[in-house]
Amino acid sequence: MTADRAPRAFLTFSGLRLRLWPIILAALIMQLCLVPARELVRWLFLEAGPAGWADHVGMLVFTAIMLQGLCGLLGIAVMGRLLPRADAHLRWPPGRSMVGLAAAIGVVMGLVMLVADYWPALLAGVAPDGGYSLDPPIVAGWLLAMITTGLGEETVFRGLLVGMLVVLVPGRVRAGRFEVPVAGVIVALLFGVAHYESFQYHPLHLAIAQQLYAFAWGLVYVWLMEQSRSLLAPIVAHGVGNFVEVALVMALMWARG
């Protein structure tokens, strides 16, 4: 007769070595990659650029994303010298690319964000107030910015920060059958914190929703990265999700405006 086995805990940790200083370092690197690029582009468009540039907010966002991605690539290059064991997953997928799954996940993310961000308007049957101009060049700028968001942000968050923390804060966490490195959970929290400006410019329900789904999406992105051993899948999921939400908001504004 075999002894009954104890039920397996839903949430388990393994190999965890939690240290505070690498997390603080990751938060500082995040700010160094995001804030200077954002402020430089804001100054170029709002202060130094030609008249009318300030109306093209989507292009401002696109430019900031590209600068953030460049900063992430520079950080990865430095990390490769200082922390050779770190893997930024900056490669073409060696096996399954998971791009199709990533795109499907991105569509679902876009729909979830649409509901989370605009549920009062959707319940009322009115057009969401996205604050977007429907002038074609401005629409094109916003959609370009959204579809390329993953190029900048995944390079920083999953490539650089997760790559660094997997070495400096080792360990894994499993919830049921879903398993990711502890570093991925930490960076998902930082990813939510990176959206802190939403508390300044948006209603409280929208700001809280962004924190929650940014954390959840961060976990999905790191899972996609690990499963495909590449940044390509999280880049696709991230970009498609943002694109779908903004495109749907614009479509609803146009249809009901």
pLDDT digits (tens, 9 = 90+) for 174-232: 998 999 999 999 999 999 988 877 777 777 877 888 899 999 999 999 999 999 999 99
Residue 13, SS3?
strand
Radius of gyration of the chain from Cα atoms? 20
| 228 alpha-carbon distance from chain centroid | 17
- Taken in order 27, 65, 166, 238, the sign of the CA dihedral is positive
pLDDT, residue 114, reads 94
Query: In one letter, which amino acid is 45?
Result: F
Token pair of 203, please? 């209603």
pLDDT digits (tens, 9 = 90+) for 124-165: 989 888 888 899 999 999 999 999 999 999 999 999 999 999
Distances (CA, A) of 64 to 37, 71, 142: 5, 10, 12
Q: In sequence order, what DSSP letters do the residues of 98-115 get, joined into one string?
A: -HHHHHHHHHHHHHHHHH
Q: Is 83 left (phi over 0), alpha (psi -120 to 50) or beta?
A: beta
pLDDT, residue 1, reads 43
* Phi, psi (degrees; rounded to nearest 5) at 36: -60, -40
Question: Greater confidence, 96 or 9?
Answer: 96
pLDDT digits (tens, 9 = 90+) for 229-254: 999 999 999 999 999 999 999 999 99
